[in-house]
Structures are given as structure tokens and as C-alpha cells.
Structure 1
């Protein structure tokens, strides 16, 4: 009887193959994680800027549609305007019947938005505490460049520019 040779048919990875795979994975993770973080930071700033842009364009269209002034002010609670707050604390848009930029008892809220992401700050280049549109959608107060910045650096800055005509644009 001839002897049959036994073949050792084992499948799997060798130690060298496993080590090479781990090194390649480490390189990919080292390169990818900072890029992924930058995407998250950039999206956070863009989201807050887009929320504010949406509020501004909505307030202008409401002013035109309703035929009354609409004002956007700083508001932490969504019911009262407070000039001492920063723009980061939140916003309130309301029908400003007399167009004075002050929320009177008869002025109805239109929309509110809460505070920005804790790492994002907002500054109004014109220094305005309120943005007011008249019944034709023209800007009465609040013209200027509004910048959204992240604590991670200025490369993530985004902006909303509100022109004299009341039109807002993203930058």
C-alpha cells in the first residue's frame, strides 16, 4: 500500500500579511480622521448660517406677504428681545406693525430659533441689534455682513450679507 501524503490545507492570513494590513489601516485612519473632523466643523458652521439665512429670507417674505414690518432680534427665550445678548443666544422674528423694531404687546411672533452650536459664534458687521424689513421687503435697519465663525479657525467662516434692498446672500 502506497503511503498517501497528507496536505496541510489551512487557510488564513500569515503574520506578515496581518501586520501589513494593520499598518495600511493605521495610515488611512491617521489621514482620514482630521479630514472628517474638518467636514463636521464646516457643516456645523454652515448649518447655523443656513438657519439664520432661512430666517432672514422668511422674515422678508412675511413682511411682503402680510403688508407689515417684520423684525428679527436677539432672544434667548423666543418671546422677548434683548439687546444685551449676543446673536449666538437665539433669534425671534415678529410682525412689527409700527416698524419701530421693538416688540410691542400686539406684535405677533413669526418664528423663533434657538442658540447656535456652542463652538460657533455670530457677529453682525454693522453692529445692529435688530434687522427690520418694511411692508415692501426693504431693509429699515440691520444692513451688513453677518459672520459665523468656529473656534477651530477662520478657515471655517461663513457669512450672510444683507443688502440695503433687504436681499440676503450667502458667502
Structure 2
């Protein structure tokens, strides 16, 4: 008479399988965290870059000054020096350097839930957190077409060692089109320099 075969796992087989799974998860988790943070940085930096590009194209299209500024409420500009909570783009039709509801073209928010921060270089924070773009498409250091071209940076950053390049700088060189550059800040976030 034959004994029926047991079709199950032994305790040893189960422990070995769980141990292998734990090792694989411990190897994959840091890579996943790094990938997630990289995607968050890229998304936020691209959102701000889109706002800057809209400001530039609208200034040329409308043939008037358009302002990209920090906004904590989505309707007014803020001159605060801490991390940005949002931004807005407005066509400065009346030359007042403050947005009215009819002048606002686009707004955006900054995701602070994941430890994200956006910091401005002195050339931007010194202008009450405004980037003014003239009808010629150039950002300048002060209102008016005779001012020097703006050279400044916005830094999108997460305080973390993973990824190593924990910041994305939006660099505005000589008043022209901004570009995004990954930067290694040694896991910290600090205000960027102008150049």
C-alpha cells in the first residue's frame, strides 16, 4: 500500500523563500526611493520651466511685459525669502508689477509634502521674487528695456542623499531661455548663487 504524497512546503523551504525575498527587497528599496525622488524633482522642475517658457512666449505674443513670480495663494506675488509654495505668471498690462485677476495667465503649486523646496538666487529674491520678461523675450534685472540681462537660478531640491543629484537648478543665463541642470548638494538644500 502506498502512502499519499504531501503537496506542500516544509518549514525550512518557507524560511529560505522568505529570507531570499527579504534580501531582494532590501536591495531594491533604496533604488526605488532614489527613482521616486528623481521623478519628483524632474516633475517639479519641468512644471516651473513650463511656467517660465509660457511667460516668455506670452511676453513676445502680447508685446508687453510678463512677470513670473512666487505666489503663496495663487493670486498675489510674495516677497518672502523662505521656500516657495507656488508661482504665477501674469501679463503686467497696467505696469503696476502686481497681478489683478484679469492679468493672471497661469499658476502652479509646489509639492512640499515630499520635502520638496524651491529656493531663489539673490538676483530673483532681490527683485521681490519676480522674474520680469520684456516684450523682446528677455528677462532683465529691473523693469525697463535698458536694464541689464538677468542671470539667476531657481533651485528645486529635496533634502536626501538619494539620489546623489538631489537638486535641479533652473538657470537663466544672460536673460535668455532657462535650462534645467542636475546638481549634487550633498543631500542638503541651500539658496543657489546667481551664476
Give me the TM-score of the superposition, normalised by structure 2.
Answer: 0.76
Runs of 4+ in 1 over 4 A off after TM superposition: 104-107
Is 1:116 aligned to residue 111 of structure 2?
Answer: yes
1:91 counterpart SS class: strand
Provide the C-alpha distance between the structure 2 equivalents of 1:155 and 1:18, rounded to a whole number of angstroms. Answer: 40
Count of residues in Structure 1 that have an aligned counterpart in Structure 2 = 166
Is 1:134 aligned to residue 141 of structure 2?
Answer: no
Aligned partner of 1:81 in structure 2 is 77
The two structures, once aligned, show a CA RMSD in angstroms of: 2.2
Aligned partner of 2:168 in structure 1 is 158
Provide the C-alpha distance between the structure 2 equivalents of 1:28 and 1:88, rounded to a whole number of angstroms. Answer: 38
In structure 2, which of residues 67, 86, 101 is the aligned counterpart of residue 71 of structure 1? 67
Aligned partner of 1:21 in structure 2 is 17
**Structure 1 or 2: larger strand share?**
1
In structure 1, which of residues 86, 91, 96 is the aligned counterpart of residue 92 of structure 2? 96
* Deviation at residue 59 of structure 1 after TM alignment: 0.9
* Deviation at residue 87 of structure 1 after TM alignment: 4.9
* Deviation at residue 105 of structure 1 after TM alignment: 4.8
